[in-house]
């Protein structure tokens, strides 16, 4: 929940009590929601009962810094402000709870002019160990004259690295490699799912079938994507999807030489550091081949792992891969497989470290005698391109257990409308597909919706492992 009130109190006593209120709010939130955070934005000064931007931590706003979990500064700072932050709260305070603002529009910015020069400001903040808060990143959309320009702007701003357009680097230049978040339920069961959605699309598909054919935006439907995307090798594809509005496109380029290029055949998708105590890992995914592959060549999905021995000290004793080969399919295909863990000895533990895609080239030439020399035709291509779509990906240790929606509660409101609610099994459900009178009305991350009294509704469950449970047709 976010409150953005930049004004003053008509009763000055309320201003004086604001610090106490913030501390009480933080205490109550922490007791009820353990991971909650109270974030203070550098605008209001309670001792003066007015808006007065400080652009860093000062004596005036320190009480607000001290009473909040995280502190978000205004964006009119310069290097002197950054030095002052370190002087007042130390490097540890800067790293632990200070976020320095950058306005993407460049309004009043003293380092860089925002936009594609945002990296210049980010580079200076990195030198002072500062965390970064971005104001108005919708700049990439709001300055675009077409959807194509928006997509190009977005790619350049977030992912392109250091180029002539982004002299300080894109946002991705400053993101440290990190582990992919996973969902752990109340029983400690590990679950990971992504359908590569970015919260918007040109249409919406379920299990490869179109159920909505128009533009849509829903921030609640964002899903995990690989940290490193490249137009040349790995990109988000919005023209086709298995579940949602997009898929992941792998673009593999292979040269017609016989040098060892195994590193070029590997596409790392997500990194984990997750101990698995169950005997099996359940892997599910959907894929579609766009191009034909050479004979005896294939793509394969790989789960990487290492074995850790814990006795007096912790040591990594061996590594391995659990691989699933993919056949060539030009229609969406779903794969569900249980992968057995390798045998563990006493005090050994299985750690899932990542998931990756590999292109496995034709090995039929490996048996040729080394005295043979292969001479390609003069007119042959220097490389071939092979493309694959990944629709979704699920990794878990136990399958989600939930039930289809067959019952709704109703509450009438003014104007003849009815608020309906249903079983909110957030632990096993990612979102719900709400069909009204036979057509998709919404994709909801909350278990409620508003209908008319004469409507007929069906609510399908979309589980945390990417499965769809069709609900019953119900009359309001």
Band the pLDDT of 379: cuts 50, 70, 90: very low
Q: Is the per-residue pLDDT at 377 higher than 50?
A: no
**What count of other Cβ atoms lies within 10 Å of the Cβ of residue 76?**
17
Is 375's pLDDT higher than 50?
no
Q: What pLDDT sits at residue 378?
A: 44
Q: Is the pLDDT of residue 381 over 70?
A: no
Identify the band that residue 34 occupies on the pLDDT scale cut at 50, 70 and 90: confident
**pLDDT-based confidence at 376, cuts 50/70/90?**
very low
Nearest C-alpha neighbor of 460 from the set 211, 240, 120:
211
CA distances from 263 to 176, 252, 268, 437, 442 (A): 21, 12, 10, 52, 43
**Residue 58: pLDDT above 70?**
yes
Q: Give the CATH architecture of domain 409-475.
A: Sandwich (2.60)
Give residue 261's pLDDT band: very low, low, confident or very high (50, 70, 90): low
Name the least confident of 97-101, 248-252, 256-260, 339-343: 256-260
Q: What is the mean pLDDT of residues 197-210?
A: 94
Contact status, residue 158 vs residue 165, Cβ threshold 8 Å: no
Residues comprising the chain, all counted? 476
Q: For position 5, what pLDDT does the model report?
A: 62
Region 277-302 average pLDDT: 92
> How large is the average pLDDT for residues 260-280?
84
The whole-chain average pLDDT of the chain stands at 88
For domain 12-174, give the CATH number.
Answer: 3.20.20.80
Model confidence, pTM: 0.78
**Is 150 a residue whose pLDDT tops 60?**
yes
> Which region among 32-41, 212-221, 393-402 has the lowest average model confidence (pLDDT)?
393-402
Lowest model confidence (mean pLDDT) among 18-27, 52-61, 383-392: 383-392
The tokens describing 171, both together, are: 């946002």
Q: Is the pLDDT of residue 163 over 90?
A: no
Parallel/antiparallel/unpaired status of strands 333-340 and 280-289: antiparallel
CATH of 190-396, one of 2.40.50.100, 3.40.47.10, 2.60.120.260, 3.40.109.10: 2.60.120.260
Phi and psi at 407, nearest 5°, equal: -150, 140
Q: Strands 39-41, 70-72: parallel, antiparallel or unpaired by DSSP?
A: parallel
Give me the sheet containing 348-360, strands edge to edge: 266-276, 348-360, 298-311, 313-325
Order the strands of the 448-452 sheet from edge to edge.
Answer: 409-412, 417-421, 448-452
Q: Of the candidates 116, 109, 126, 103, which has an alpha carbon nearest to the alpha carbon of residue 174? A: 126
pLDDT for res 293: 86
Tokens, residue 307: 């074995």
Lowest mean pLDDT among 68-77, 103-112, 189-198, 356-365: 356-365
Confidence category of residue 262, pLDDT binned at 50, 70, 90? low
What ranges do the domains of the chain cover?
A: 12-174, 190-396, 409-475
pLDDT(1) > 60 = no
């Amino acid at each position: 929940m976010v409150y953005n009130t930049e004004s003053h109190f008509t009763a000055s006593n309320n201003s004086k009590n604001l610090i106490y209120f913030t501390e009480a709010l933080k205490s109550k939130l922490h007791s009820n929601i353990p991971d909650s955070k109270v974030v203070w934005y550098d605008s209001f000064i309670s001792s003066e009962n007015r808006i007065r931007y400080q652009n860093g931590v000062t004596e005036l706003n320190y009480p607000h810094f001290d009473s909040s979990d995280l502190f978000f500064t205004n964006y009119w700072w310069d290097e002197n402000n950054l030095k002052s932050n370190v002087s007042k709260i130390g490097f540890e305070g800067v790293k632990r709870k200070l976020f320095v603002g950058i306005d993407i529009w460049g309004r009043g910015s003293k380092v860089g002019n925002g936009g594609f020069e945002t990296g210049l400001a980010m580079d200076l903040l990195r030198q002072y160990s500062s965390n970064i808060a971005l104001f108005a990143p919708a700049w990439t959309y709001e300055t675009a004259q077409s959807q194509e320009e928006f997509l190009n702007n977005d790619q350049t701003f977030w992912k392109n690295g250091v180029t002539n357009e982004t002299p300080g680097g894109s946002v991705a230049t400053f993101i440290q490699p990190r582990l992919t978040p996973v969902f752990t339920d109340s029983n400690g069961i590990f679950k990971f799912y992504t359908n590569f959605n970015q919260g918007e699309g040109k249409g919406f598909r379920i299990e490869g079938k179109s159920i909505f054919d128009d533009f849509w935006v829903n921030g609640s439907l964002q899903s995990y994507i690989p940290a490193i995307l490249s137009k040349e090798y790995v990109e988000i594809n919005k023209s086709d999807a298995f579940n949602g509005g997009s898929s992941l496109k792998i673009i593999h380029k292979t040269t017609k030489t016989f040098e060892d290029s195994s590193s070029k055949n590997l596409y790392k998708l997500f990194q984990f550091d997750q101990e698995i105590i169950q005997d099996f890992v359940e892997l599910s995914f959907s894929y579609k081949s766009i191009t034909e592959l050479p004979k005896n060549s294939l793509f394969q999905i790989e789960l990487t792992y290492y074995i850790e021995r814990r006795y007096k000290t912790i040591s990594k004793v061996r590594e391995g891969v659990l691989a699933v080969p993919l056949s060539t399919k030009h229609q969406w295909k779903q794969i569900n497989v249980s992968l057995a863990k390798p045998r563990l000895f006493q005090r050994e533990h299985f750690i899932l470290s990542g998931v990756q895609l590999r292109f496995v080239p034709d090995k039929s030439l490996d048996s040729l005698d080394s005295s043979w020399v292969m001479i390609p035709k003069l007119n042959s291509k220097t490389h071939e391109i092979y493309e694959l779509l990944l629709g979704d990906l699920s990794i878990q240790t136990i399958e989600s257990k939930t039930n289809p929606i067959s019952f709704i509660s109703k509450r009438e409101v003014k104007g003849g409308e009815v608020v309906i609610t249903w079983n909110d099994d957030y632990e096993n459900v990612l979102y719900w597909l709400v069909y009204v009178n036979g057509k998709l009305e919404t994709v909801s991350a909350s278990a409620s919706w508003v209908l008319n009294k004469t409507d007929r509704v069906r609510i399908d469950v979309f589980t945390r492992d990417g499965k769809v449970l069709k609900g019953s047709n119900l009359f309001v």
